[in-house]
Chains A and B, each alone.
Chain A
C-alpha cells in the first residue's frame, strides 16, 4: 500500500476549472436556477445543483469520510447487538458454558420448552460438544488444506507450463466461488450415501449402535468438503506472495547449485512464510463460520467424535457452533434459546475479529518487499 501523495490543499487552488460556479456558490446558483414556485421543487433543484456543482474539497472530504464511517458504525452495532443479546447466557453461566459437562440436547430442549419468561435454570448451558466440533472440523480442514495449498501454489507458480497454468487458475478459482449450499447438496446426496453404504462396515455400525447411528454423515465428509472449500482461499494468498517474491532470491540459490524446486522450497517458500500464516489464519476464519454446508453433511447431532475410536472417528456425527445456529433458528422465539444462539454468534464474532486482526498483523512484514516490486 502506498501512502497518498500530498498535494496542495484545496484552499490554495485559486479557482475551480469546471465552470464559473465557485465552490461555495453551488447551492445559491442552484436554488436560483429554475425559479419555480413550489418549495419542494426548489429544494430538489438546489439538492441537484449541490450534487452537480463542484464541491469544496473540505466538504467532500468530510462527507466521504462520514459515509465511510458507516461501515465502522455497523461493525460496532454488530458487536454491541450480538453482545447484548448473548448477555443472559454469560450472566448465568459465566465463561464455563464453553466447558464440558451436561447434555446439550436436553439443555436446548429445556430452553425451547420455556415460555416468554424463562426461569434462571433454563439458561444453563454447557456447549463443549459444539466448540469441540467446530475446532475439530476447522483444524482438520486447515491442516489438510494448508498442505494442499502450499503444494499446488508451487505447482501453479513454478512448475506448471504457461499453457496449463492458464487453465488451472480459473478452474481452481471456480472452486472458491461455488456456493456452500451446492457443496452441501453434493455432500448430502452423493458423498454421505457413498460413505454410509460402502465405507462404513456393518461391524463398525454394530460397534456404535448403542451410542450413535452411523449413516455416513459426519466428521469425515464435513472435513473433506470444508478442505475443498477453504483451499482456494489459501492458494490465492500464497500464490500472490510467491509471485511477488523477488526472483533474485531463487536465482541466487540456483546459482549456488540447488535444483530449482529445492531453491523454491528452501528460499522462496521460507521468505513468504508470513503469507502462508496469513492464509491459514484467513482460512480458519472461513472454516469456523461455515454453517450451511456443515449442517447438511455432519449428521446434526451434538456428539463428540472420539479419536480413540479409530476409523469410526471419521464417521461419527457432530455439530458446530455455526451449524447449531442453522439447526435451531426456528426456535429463536424462546428467549433462552435466543440468548444461546446469540452466544454462539458472539463466540464466532470474537474469533472472526481476533483472526482478522491477526491476519492483518501477520501480513505486515510482507509489505516490506512487495511494494519494492
Chain B
C-alpha cells in the first residue's frame, strides 16, 4: 500500500534483468496484439502529456509578457488594454498560505494520532474514513458546503458583506478554509505512510531511554518524517493552486482584491478576490471575458507552477530513496 515503505524497494527487478525470455515474434497473435496495445497506451499517454505541456508552452511564450505578472487587471474589451494578472497571482498565493496553514497541523496531528495511538480503534477508523470521504468529495460540493457555512450569521465577521448587511459568505477566509479540506487528504496520507515506515526499533530505543510516547513523537518521529510532510505539503499546494470551483463560488471572482473593513491584513482576508484558475476561467470563452490570450498566459504560469511542484515532489522523493513512486500518497491524486 505504502509507497514509502522500505519493504517495497526489494519489489521487482527491472524487466531487462529477468533473464532469457521468449521473443515476442514467436508469440500468438492475440498476445502480440496485447503487447502492441500496451505499448501504444503507455506511449500515447506520454504523448498527450507532452502535447499539453508543449502546446501550453508555445502559447504561453507567445502571449506571456513579464509586465503581465506585475500589472493589475483592468476592465477593457480589448486584450491589449485589460492589464495583467497581479491580483489573481496574489490571490493564489494567499489561498495557498491559508489552506496549508489550516490543513497542515490538522493533517499531521490526525496522522500522528492514527499511526501512533489509534485507540479506541473504532474511533480511529471513523477518522480515517472521514478523510477518505473528504478525499472523494468533489470540490464543487465542498464549495457549496463552504457557502452554506460562511453565510451563517455566526461567521458573518469572516466574510464579505453587502452595503445592506447581507452576508455573502465569500472571502479569502472562506475559500481558504475549504481549500484546507482539499489539501488535507494528501498531506494526511503522506505523513501517515511516513510514520508507518519508521522502523519500530527507533521507537523502542526511545522508550528504553525512558521517553514518553509524546516525547518520542516530537523528538524522534516528527524529525524523521519531515520529508514526508514536505511531500504532502507540496501535493496539497498543487491541489490548491489547481482548484477552480471553490474560487468561483467562495472568493467572489472580483477583478481586484477588494478589502473589507479597516483592520490592515484582516481586511484583505475578509475581502474578495480571484485566483489564477478563476482568471483563466473568466477569460476563456466559457466565462464572460473572451480574452484567450490572457487566459493562455495565465494558464501557462499556472502550468509552470504545477510543473515546479511536481519536480519538487520528485526531488524530495529521490533524496529519500524511494521505490518506483508513480503512485502519489493518497491514491487518488
Contacts and interface: CB of A to CB of B under 8 A. Distances in A.
A65 interface: yes
Contacts of A165: 14, 324
B196 A2 contact: yes
B154 interface: no
A68 B45 contact: no
Interface in B21-68: 21-22, 24, 26-27, 31, 34-35, 37-46, 48-50, 52-53, 55-56
Contacts of B214: 54-55, 57, 60-61
Contact of A18 (B114, B132, B211): B211
Contact of A189 (B45, B109, B292): B292
A159 B18 CA distance: 11
Given A231-B45, A243-B323, A352 B136 contact: yes
A184 B200 contact: no
Interface stretch (A92-100, A198-206, A325-333): A325-333
Contacts of A185: 280, 284, 295-296, 299
B31 A259 contact: yes
B113 A82 contact: no
A236 interface: yes
Nearest to B166: A333
B269 interface: no
Nearest to A296: B286
B327 interface: yes
B80 interface: no
Interface stretch (B71-79, B143-151, B224-232, B256-264): B143-151
B328 interface: yes
B136 A282 contact: yes
Nearest to B306: A177
A107 interface: no
B137 A349 contact: yes
A16 B215 contact: yes
A352 B133 CA distance: 7
Contacts of A155: 38-39, 41-43
Contacts of A290: 138
B140 interface: yes
A346 B49 CA distance: 34
Contacts of B12: 157, 243, 247
Interface stretch (A3-11, A30-38, A301-309): A3-11
B307 A292 contact: no
B309 A240 contact: no
14 contacts: A16-B212, A57-B214, A67-B105, A67-B109, A68-B109, A69-B123, A71-B134, A169-B324, A174-B306, A182-B280, A236-B328, A348-B138, A353-B133, A371-B1
Closest 9 CB pairs of A and B: A289-B138, A179-B242, A155-B42, A68-B110, A60-B214, A356-B136, A151-B41, A162-B14, A296-B286
Interface of B: 1, 3, 7-8, 10-12, 14-16, 18, 21-22, 24, 26-27, 31, 34-35, 37-46, 48-50, 52-53, 55-56, 105-106, 109-110, 112-119, 123, 126-127, 129-142, 144-145, 147-149, 181, 184, 196, 200, 203-204, 207, 209-215, 217, 219, 238, 241-245, 248-249, 277, 280-281, 284-286, 292, 295-296, 299, 302-303, 306-307, 309-310, 314, 323-328, 331-333
Given A300-B286, A322-B245, 12 more contacts: A13-B212, A14-B210, A67-B106, A147-B41, A167-B46, A171-B50, A172-B326, A188-B284, A236-B331, A240-B331, A289-B138, A332-B147
